């Protein structure tokens, strides 16, 4: 359910949308920051030192190198800003992994 789609590109960043539900694997992005904006519903960004709860209209920027794991109890819609080269599961291979060049544009 964590399948991002590209809706635009801006200054070397992809603008992505995704419907999310359930747990996403713990991972980090060595060189990229990641912005999560909740469009509908709510999500939790888990960090090793505490969680950030996000509701509609709220956002969180995950700095590069910081391990995190998004989760949503119910389906939520999110918008992401990430550099074009960002691998969605960062340093982890997982069933959710989609290489940057294989992302679908809508």
Summarize pLDDT for 32-81 with one digit per residue, the tens. Answer: 899 999 999 999 999 999 999 999 999 999 999 999 999 999 999 999 98
Which token pair is 99? 């290489």
Domains of the chain, residue spans: 5-83
Flag whether the pTM goes above 0.85.
no
Among 72, 90, 88, CA closest to 5: 88
92/63 Cα distance (integer angstroms): 17
Mean pLDDT of 6-24: 91
Which CATH number fits the domain 5-83, given the four candidates 2.60.120.10, 2.40.30.10, 1.10.8.420, 1.10.645.10?
2.60.120.10
**Number of H-type helices and E-type strands within the chain:** 0, 8
Residue 50 near residue 25, CB atoms below 8 Å:
no
Which token pair is 98? 């989609």
């Amino acid at each position: 359910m964590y399948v991002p789609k590209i809706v635009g590109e801006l200054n070397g960043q992809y603008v992505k949308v995704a419907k999310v539900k359930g747990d996403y694997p713990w991972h980090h992005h060595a060189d990229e920051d990641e912005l999560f904006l909740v469009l509908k519903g709510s999500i939790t960004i888990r960090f090793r030192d505490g969680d950030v709860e996000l509701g509609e209209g709220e956002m969180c920027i995950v700095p590069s190198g910081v391990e995190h794991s998004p989760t949503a109890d119910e389906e939520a819609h999110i918008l992401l800003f990430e550099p074009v080269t960002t691998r969605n599961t960062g340093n982890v291979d997982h069933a959710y992994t989609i290489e940057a060049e294989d992302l679908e544009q809508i």
